[in-house]
Amino acid sequence: MRSDLMKTGVDRIPHRSLFRALGLTDEELERPIIGVVSAKNEIIPGHMHLDKIADAVKAGIRMAGGTPVEFPAIGVCDGIAMNHEGMFYSLPSREHIADSVEIMATAHPFDGLVLIPNCDKIVPGMLMAALRLNIPAIFCSGGPMMPGHANGRQVALTDAFEAPGAVRTGKMTAEQAQDIVEHACPGCGSCAGMFTANSMNCMTEILGMALPGNGTIPAVESQRILLAKHTGMKIMDLVRDDVRPRDIVTEKAIRNGLAADMALGCSTNTMLHLPAIAHEAGIPFDLNGVNAVSDRVPHLVKLNPAGVHCLVDLNNAGGLSAVMKRLDSLGLIDPSARTVDGTWAERIQKAVIFDVSVIRDREHAYSQTGGLAILYGNLAPDGAVVKKGAVLPEMMVHTGPARCFDSEEDCCEGLYSGKVVPGDVVVIRFEGPKGGPGMREMLSPTAALAGMGLDSTCALVTDGRFSGVSRGASIGHVSPEAAAGGLMAYVKDGDLIAIDIPGHSIQLLVDEDEIARRKEAHSPQPPKQVAGYLKRYRAMVSSANLGAILRTD
């Protein structure tokens, strides 16, 4: 056993004395020792109940003959960190989480790991760590939040973020907004729509690193506790059979993940996290190939914010196994891909599609192509990402004058002061991995556009990124970013920008001679000066098209 390195033999007498201080018996030390990584905290609604999930996981480990040892991981609540300095730290926290799990599991050589995340960067950070360590590992997330009800209708976090723009423009009263405050997020869990947290929790299941139901079983259901117990038992099988993360997350798993991503219309953040996960697994990931997948995979499931359904509806419709069953029937996935409990073929055989209004067939798909697209052009030669499944039909092709802002705060101020008018293309730059630094989510501007009723006439282009809550013609991850000398830095107010989402194109309509004059006139410098962790992050982080991973050269 790997844990023998810290507990067996005469040279480990002092080590065993320290284990005795923890109250561990000789019998417990003779068993495989399983690290249980819990991201429980009291600041993220999706994490406030993870102590109960961890207790259930540990019960499962003990039932199957192992000894669980719990340790923590940090987490940032993107919703609470939004539109202030806290958001600079959200994406960088992914690398910190991966590093901290690596540190703990190497300093204390566990035989296996159960990882318990739920929100945003915690999920991919733990996936990156699991693949980097490559010891038997499995995931059990905390589960999605239920939707709320306010002002006589179903609501979710999307409604809360769009409320400020609606109130400012007189489309909503203060009383209606307060009803949303009180009921949009009714309890524990990752926010109810297909935002980043739920996109990545679904991805752990689709990549094979979690048991069926991990991505969709609501946080408040007893089935989530049962799943946690079964996860605790399953890690013991993985340890016994020496099944490791890189045995599961292979090229075919990544391809399946991309196909499911397109069918589900996941958050654009998956286009940051999947390349980073593939990098840790030693698997090449070419952003150029994403459109080829999107072009052949129909958009079958449309969840909030793009649609009316939430994660609980997908769970009741048969969950991700049912989605994969549909994709398999269309020949769009490889069912031989391995999972923690067998293969996808075995899961698909047991799956049932209970609600075809939630999991549609190809004939009734929302579109015959996938929910995400990569755009290329002189403004984004290395690519930009759009959640096209959440774009209104009239904004799929749009040309308009640029309205440029050098930060999220400047943009929000410009929006609320009337500087943006119908037809504009809002440009927010110096918010990329280096420029931010940390590639903040531009949810406040996109929500303001939607709340003000401008999402049907205005596009937004940024080298930053978006929350999964964002909707509309929101084009992010523009690479190279402004701070790295990308063309974004040289756009001026009034320049025409042409966007063609079906054609995968984004172009700045300024002649090359004028662009050359602008580049000669000045060099772009990120306006924000930083110290500490962010300074180190800025120095090491790569471009968004590479997953914003930290360079080690």
Tokens of 326: 């549909």
Paired residues of 149 in beta bridges: 154
Strands 112-116 and 33-38: parallel
Q: Can you say how many angstroms the Cα of residue 240 is from the centroid of all Cα atoms in its chain? A: 31
Phi, psi of 252 (to 5 degrees): -70, -30
Concatenating the DSSP letter of every residue in 522-548 gives -----S----HHHHHHHHHB--GGGTS
Neighbouring C-alpha atoms within 13 Å toward the C-beta of 351: 27
Q: Which strand (E) or helix (H) includes residue 20?
A: helix 13-21
* H helices, E strands: number in the chain: 21, 16
3-class state of residue 448 by DSSP: helix
Integer distance in angstroms from the first to the last C-alpha of the chain? 34
Tokens of 327: 């994709």
434 to 113, 438, 439: CA distances (angstroms):
33, 7, 7
Residues in CB range of 45: below 8 A, 6 or more apart? 77, 145, 185, 187, 188, 189, 191
* Nearest one of 461, 385, 383 to 420, comparing CA atoms: 461
Task: Report the C-alpha gap between 544 and 261 in whole angstroms.
Answer: 18
Phi, psi of 137 (to 5 degrees): -150, 155
3-class state of residue 51 by DSSP: helix
| Residues known to be catalytic | 467
State the residue for tokens 């018996």: 25
Neighbouring C-alpha atoms within 13 Å toward the C-beta of 27: 2
Paired residues of 427 in beta bridges: 404, 461
State the residue for tokens 């930060």: 407
State the residue for tokens 């340790």: 71
Angle at 16 between CA 1 and CA 31, to 5 degrees: 35
State the residue for tokens 């109960």: 52
Q: Can you say how many angstroms the Cα of residue 419 is from the centroid of all Cα atoms in its chain? A: 32
517 to 468, 492, 525: CA distances (angstroms):
38, 13, 17
12 to 7, 9, 15, 334: CA distances (angstroms):
5, 5, 5, 46
Concatenating the DSSP letter of every residue in 219-235 gives TTSHHHHHHHHHHHHHH
- Helix spans in 426-510 (H): 443-451
State the residue for tokens 């090229």: 251
